[in-house]
Amino acid sequence: MSAQLVQALPAHHGTRAHEARAPRSGATLPALRRKLARAAGALALSFIVVMPAVRPALARSGPEGIADVAERVMDAVVNIKATQKVAQRNVPMPQLPPGSPFEDLFNDFFNKRGGPGAPNGGPTPNGPQQRSSSLGSGFVIDPAGIVITNNHVIAEANEITVVFNDGTELKAEVVGKDKSTDLAVLKVKSDKPLNAVKFGDSDKARVGEWVIAIGNPFGFGGSVSAGIVSAKQRNIRSGPYDSFIQTDAAINKGNSGGPLFNMDGDVIGINTAIISPSGGSIGIGFSVPASLAVPIIDQLKQYGETRRGWLGVAIQDVDDDTADALKLGKARGAMVINVDDKGPAKTAGFEREDVIIKFDGKDIRRSNDLPRIVAQTPIGKEVDVIVMRAGKEITRKVTLGKLDEAPQKASLETKDAQNGTATSTVLGLDVAPLNAETRKRFNIKDGIEGVVVLKVDPNSIAAERRVAVGDVIVEVQREAVKSAADIRKRLDALKAQGQKRALFYIASGPEGTLRYVTLPMN
């Protein structure tokens, strides 16, 4: 820069531009002023030309501290090798004529002396097995050898190996795992204390804050990527407790189970999922927040299993139409669509159409907030639950039970059937009384009563809200219905009360899964 300045300044005579000179004979004062003005302009011009030579430092792509954090925590991040043993099938070797030039080649390839695929043998109980391996990431949280990863990384593994940054490999055993949150706790035995990291407060992480992901993408261990917190409390519908941190830090295959660090070097998330049309990172990754993970990890360490609180209600979201129908004022909370007869909520006096807006002092903004908060509440604890019922707030005291984990039922697909029963049309739905013939046709279990849907107008609001052929309308606004006439009568009564929308209580599928659907009555 100084060399350019030296070259630039003389070119515009900047060193002489401001020298005062005696006026020539006959020079007037205005002429002198004009010369001084021109000289000042030349001086200014010299700086205008020179200034571009002073180049600003290039903007960095992230804070300077990223390298420091990565260096400090790197040795606590590990690669996970999960191996599953699969018995080989006995595939017969092609039969070749004696003396064929390919006979020796095939004998060697198929191991004719009794190996897998040999015409004379095949796999024996003690014979070789095929090994299927997968790669993932993890991190150490206890110098004594506690390692955290994703459940899906090790779920089917017969053998797990933890590979450290210095190349050390240690066999691991599973302490506990949880499919619902996709977390697993492993234990390794080391003859020396291991480098470990600690969890931070993910609730304090802000959108736009810098984060660092370290892991084993595509088998490239110790890979560091940086980005920001793109969003919080993301529900990607992967399970009942979704509340992910979204980040644009590169997360790829093999990063699963690895840590997401804040700039203090604390783990605020466990990298778990990505959205990608190609299988690689497009800047949309998801991490289980530490606030959700830590209680689960503590339970897995202590008991080898999760011990979640249980309320005993089925719930759904509240949309604007439902809020209007229930006189809530605004859409919020978790709407109760069914109460387990043997659950704590039944004992506490919960009812269908109650809208839970606060649980143990915590606001319930959306329905998926409630399962997570209930699950994290200690079993046996008595809590206050505030519900909206008929437009009024009611407080219920409930003592939580223990959730018995069970496989989630698959979502129901829309059914189709030919209309072979006398029908009536209501709000874009062709309906008929539920009888033995329709019950058999749509595989509707005993105990469910109501009006069966035989056809749905594809242009109706009911179709938009996923009312399907084979669904059973059990109630309209808390009143049981057995015919189309019952539905019309109930709708007329609601209109007379000034209502514009009605709550339909609907059972779907062979299991009779219950939900509420709000439909406009015009």
Contact, 488 vs 426, CB < 8 A? yes
The DSSP call for residue 95 is P
Instruction: Classify 335 as helix, strand or coil.
Output: strand
Contact, 273 vs 244, CB < 8 A? yes
The DSSP annotation for 415-467 comes to B-----S--EEETTEEEEE--HHHHHHTTPPTT--SEEEEEE-TTSHHHHTT-
User: Could you identify the residue written with the tokens 């644009």?
Assistant: 248
**Cα separation values, 415 from 8, 388, 418, 466, Å:** 81, 35, 10, 11
The question of whether 471 is a catalytic residue gets the answer no
| Catalytically annotated residue among 46, 178, 180, 182 | 182
- CB contact set of 295 (below 8 Å; sequence gap of 6+): 376
| Catalytically annotated residue among 12, 46, 137, 152 | 152
Instruction: Classify 237 as helix, strand or coil.
Output: coil
- CB contact set of 200 (below 8 Å; sequence gap of 6+): 262, 264, 266, 267, 268, 290
| Catalytically annotated residue among 180, 230, 256, 287 | 256
- CB contact set of 351 (below 8 Å; sequence gap of 6+): 336, 339, 389
The question of whether 430 is a catalytic residue gets the answer no
Contact, 199 vs 294, CB < 8 A? yes
The question of whether 182 is a catalytic residue gets the answer yes
Closest listed residue to residue 227, CA positions, set 245, 254, 209: 209
C-alpha 25/C-alpha 21 separation (Å) is 12
What sign has the CA pseudo-torsion 108, 110, 114, 120? negative
Closest listed residue to residue 283, CA positions, set 231, 238, 244, 247: 247
Catalytic residue IDs: 152, 182, 256
